[in-house]
Amino acid sequence: MFVFSIWVFLLFVVETFVASEHCRASSLQECATYALSLEASVLANSKKIHLDDIVIGSVAKISQPVEGRVEAQICIEKYYQKHIERGTIAYVHDGKISIYNVWASGERLPEHSTIQSFSSRLDLYLYEVKSIAFLLLRYFGWGPSQTKS
């Protein structure tokens, strides 16, 4: 009876490790990767990616700092990938990285693309003001014209 119990225990342990390894592998396949470029000091405390109050991903890998900035690879759960569109940006506020759609385009951002990133809400707001001003200038014909060749 004792030998049978040990045998069952060993099978249980082996099955647990095999199943957990399988779960880890499937979770890596269930995320879409994108890149962010942020100040190294800002990214040091922020590992989760948020959409409003929902955690939709995490920082997977961080490169070595170059001139105070780091390139971070983020992993967004496949379920939330539909929220990552052209015009999506990332910003840091209250120690967390948030995803925000400045202009909803309906066009998904391809995996492995770089998401424009800001180290604070102020930087984001300045970007939005510049974008709106540029659009208004173009609308009224005061900005640079875009001619097709």
φ and ψ of 47, to 5 deg: -120, -20
Mark out the alpha helices in 30-148 (DSSP H runs): 40-43, 121-139
User: 58-88: per-residue pLDDT in tens?
Assistant: 999 999 888 888 899 999 999 999 999 988 9
User: 87-111: per-residue pLDDT in tens?
Assistant: 899 999 888 899 998 777 889 999 9
> Quick one: average pLDDT of 125-140?
88
Q: Give residues with Cβ within 8 angstroms of 120, minimum separation 6.
A: 42, 91, 92, 93
Q: Within 10 Å of residue 62's Cβ, how many Cβ atoms?
A: 17
- In which band, very low, low, confident or very high, does the pLDDT at 45 lie, cut at 50, 70 and 90? confident
> By percentage, how much of the chain surpasses pLDDT 70?
76
